[in-house]
Amino acid sequence: MSDLLRQVLVSAALFIPVAGIVGFISLMVTRRAGAGRSRRAQRVVLLAAAFAVAATATGRLWVREEALASHLTSVLISLAVPLATYLIVLLIIGWTNRRIQDDAMRLKTRKAIIYLGLLVVVLTLAKVWLLRQEVNLTTVLSVIGAGIALALQQQILCLAGWLTLLTHRYYDVGDRVQIGEIKGDVSDIEVLHTTLIEIGNWVDAEQSTGRLVTVPNSYVFSHAIYNYTRGFEYIWNELSVLVTFESNWRKAQQLMLDFAQEDGEQIEEKFRTQIRHMSDKYLIHFRHLTPIVYPKILDSGVQLTLRYLCEPKRRRSTMADLTAKILDAFAREPDVDFAYPTVRRYDAAREGKPNQPRAEGHPDNR
């Protein structure tokens, strides 16, 4: 009876401190985690894991059979290591969130910490369950590999795409990209997919729609990737207006050019510097970097198209500023008028050139 009582006391002395200490640490670590519901769910999971670790450690004291004791030890390690790793990851992430101010760097650091924690857990579980002497490692890995290859083809392709993104850096967090037909700003790059803040669609000038779009990383192998910001900070944009044939289109052309050149010199210098840096890797030819206005004759008047450099995320704002300046300037000029589609009747007999030869059968020749 005394042995049984001693065993119970030892078990209680082990269970209560383990569950209490781990539970207290879990509560302290998660005191700033997310919203109330998310924090409660996280605490429930951690407390359940803490009680499972304590119960397994206590059960290990009651087992006398060596084989069962060995299995309980493996279970205990399998529970304790993920729990400890998770708590440590939460502590490190909380510390980095307070120390790192840049959003992109903070996200990258958080992802790296999480992946490192996952690697520790996977290696530990592999060491506990797969590298035991009684297990044929080659057979286990062959079966697991065949099952993964058959059941997780798309996931493996996405993982390969993620590794490709890590090595080739087609885009990074914060870049504005187009993947296939999907456009957006990269907000997160995970192992299986990339999350974009969508732009365009029903919104003009490629502004944000407010939706998040998830793109499988396997798209890097099957879709074209357009990066608006990698290498160059600027893109070409065009603004077209239509003036009447009677307008002084050269004056209108010069007015548009003057407005675009206000910030053109500073942008041009930055752009040339970026070209010099990128020319070591890519074959790049840009001869004309300053704004330019192209005239074109249309049915209703002369179209003037202003081509200029702007930042990808300021495309609409720069266009709005230029449009406002052009409207104000054209309103002040008496010899510059906007054109619009019109229908005009032309009488060759009255409006034609003098001494114009009349075709045979014309009413004036009868």
Q: Quote the tokens at residue 268.
A: 């041009």
Q: How far apart are CA 309 and CA 323, in angstroms?
A: 15
DSSP assignment string, 134-156: TS-HHHHHHHHHHHHHHH-HHHH
Distance of CA 171 to the CA centre of its chain: 8
Among 98, 85, 115, 94, smallest CA distance to 30 is for: 94
Q: How far apart are CA 85 and CA 122, in angstroms?
A: 11
Among 175, 179, 169, smallest CA distance to 213 is for: 179
| Residues constituting the chain | 366
Q: How far apart are CA 207 and CA 199, in angstroms?
A: 5
Among 262, 253, 236, 264, smallest CA distance to 329 is for: 253
Helices (H), 152-196: 153-168
**3-state SS, residue 332:** helix
User: Domain residues of the chain, as ranges?
Assistant: 8-135, 161-227, 235-332
Q: How far apart are CA 66 and CA 154, in angstroms?
A: 43
Q: Which CATH architecture does the domain made up of 161-227 adopt?
A: Roll (2.30)
Q: Which residues contact 109 (CB under 8 A, 6 or more apart)?
A: 96, 100
List residues bridging with 197 in a β-sheet.
185, 212
The whole-chain average pLDDT of the chain stands at 77
Q: How far apart are CA 53 and CA 81, in angstroms?
A: 10
* pTM (whole model) above 0.75: no
Fold match, 161-227 / 235-332: no
Residues 270-293: tens digit of each pLDDT = 666 766 666 666 666 666 678 899
Q: What are the pLDDT tens digits along the chain (366 aa)?
A: 455 555 555 556 556 666 667 666 666 666 655 555 666 666 676 777 777 776 666 666 555 556 555 666 777 777 778 877 887 887 887 778 777 777 777 777 777 788 888 888 888 777 776 655 555 556 656 666 666 666 667 878 888 898 999 888 889 888 999 998 999 999 988 888 999 999 988 888 788 888 999 999 999 999 999 998 876 778 889 999 999 999 999 999 999 999 888 766 666 666 667 666 666 666 666 666 788 999 999 888 999 999 988 888 888 888 999 999 999 999 999 999 998 877 767 777 777 666 655 555 555 544
Q: What class has domain 235-332? A: alpha beta
Q: Which residues contact 282 (CB under 8 A, 6 or more apart)?
A: 231
Classify strands 301-310 and 208-216 as parallel, antiparallel or unpaired: unpaired
Number of neighbours of residue 149 by Cβ within 10 angstroms: 10
